[in-house]
Amino acid sequence: MTTVQRQPLAFGMTRWGPLPGTTDLFLSWGPGDGIYLHKGEDGAQKRVRHESAAGTYDTAKAAQRAVDAFVAAGEEAS
């Protein structure tokens, strides 16, 4: 399983990436929210709807588990 680099941001937000096989795709999360996919630093965000990470997460630990599951699902599909 690939581990994606985690980058803590302001206000409890977190960004992971770049995603495996990419140079500019990232996942982001903020407390009480879902996981979002975006391109580059300022790209438009799209909510992840894959069953592995479609919920909302109150803690960074829970969001990390969802990100890990989402990345693993992508690896299994390729």
Q: What is the DSSP string of 30-69?
A: -TTB--EEEETTTPPEEE--STTS-S-BSSHHHHHHHHHH
Instruction: Report the pLDDT value the prediction gives residue 63, as an integer from 0 to 100.
Output: 97
Reported as a single tens digit per residue, the pLDDT across 12-35 is 999 999 999 999 999 999 999 999
**When comparing pLDDT for 24 and 43, which is higher?**
24
Global pTM value: 0.91
Judge whether residue 39 has pLDDT over 90. Answer: yes
Six-digit token pair at 26? 């990232």
Q: Could you give the C-alpha distances from 71 to 10, 11, 57, in angstroms and in order?
A: 24, 24, 17
In whole numbers, what is the pLDDT of the chain averaged over residues? 93
